[in-house]
Chain A
């Protein structure tokens, strides 16, 4: 059974700081890993999708890495902004569907 863990559960940083969110999973037989953002009262917005054969994906100030063998992914956010405040979730997809971590609640203070 796939278990997905996200650390830390909450993070508060001043504006402009670079930060790293972590996602670990127990079963390396995955199709892909997807990072989402959830704003309060809203749905999920896909940020980055990394296939199992890839090592990283980049979009603007976001960079996600994947180390399948060790069961880890990181989401790097450069030069954080107050608008980045949200809950960030990782979802690991395998033949049984996706399993989500509990999320990291990020607050970026002006």
Chain B
């Protein structure tokens, strides 16, 4: 399809529970990026993939966050043992390549940790 599909749109988790978010990039886009936006503030880069390989993970809080992009499956971002400060909107974007192409964003998943 021509849009980046993120599911679910909303997710509520109790503190300490696991949260798993999904992203289906546009067909033919080989790069996938995850960003976190807390309270409409700055977009924080988390991780990027080139196909199923991690390209850049410098933004990932590695203790509790993990991500995968497996062939023929939506990409996923998983947060183990969620904390209140994980409450944010998580955006996924895809790009045709890592070079001159722009990004197309999904509509985001709003995670609320209570």
Show the binding face of A for B, using Cβ within 8 Å. 31-32, 34, 36, 40, 42-46, 49, 51-52, 87, 89, 91, 93, 95-103
User: Can you name 30 A-B pairs with beta carbons within 8 Å?
Assistant: A31-B98, A32-B101, A36-B105, A40-B40, A43-B91, A43-B105, A43-B107, A43-B108, A44-B93, A45-B105, A46-B102, A46-B103, A46-B104, A46-B105, A49-B102, A52-B100, A87-B40, A91-B103, A93-B103, A97-B48, A97-B55, A97-B56, A98-B45, A100-B35, A100-B42, A100-B43, A100-B45, A101-B42, A102-B41, A103-B42
B22-66 interface mask toward A, CB cutoff 8 Å, 1 = contact, 0 = none? Answer: 000000000001010000111101001000000110100000000
Distance A34 CA – B105 CA, assembled complex (angstroms): 12
Distance A21 CA – B108 CA, assembled complex (angstroms): 25
* With A43-B106, A44-B105: A31-B41 Cβ-Cβ less than 8 Å: no
* With A43-B107, A97-B33, A97-B56: A34-B102 Cβ-Cβ less than 8 Å: yes
Q: CB-CB < 8 A to B101: which residues of A?
A: 32
Q: CB-CB < 8 A to A51: which residues of B?
A: 100
